[in-house]
Amino acid sequence: MNTTSPNSGPAAFTVNDFCAWAGICRATLYKEMSAGKIVHRKLGRRTLILRTDAEKWLAALPVGGSHAA
């Protein structure tokens, strides 16, 4: 029995899938991983980023300032 909804997406992202999801380039992803800001896992040579870790990273990004008119 499948307990996930079809709209929930994958449980983990590959590097390319994460970059497409987050709208960032691979270089930015690798900088964030090197800085310890994005938790990633290795499965052989593959790098995986769990959806929960991706969402935590996104939520931890700084909020942009408002511009007074």
- Per-residue model confidence as pLDDT tens digits over 50-68: 999 999 999 999 998 776 5
pTM of the entire structure?
A: 0.79
- Per-residue model confidence as pLDDT tens digits over 5-23: 555 789 999 999 999 999 9
- Tokens representing 22 are 């987050």
How large is the average pLDDT for residues 42-46? Answer: 97
What domains are there in the chain, each with its CATH number?
10-59 (1.10.10)
What secondary structure does DSSP assign to 16-53, as a single string? HHHHHHHT--HHHHHHHHHTTSS--EEETTEEEEEHHH
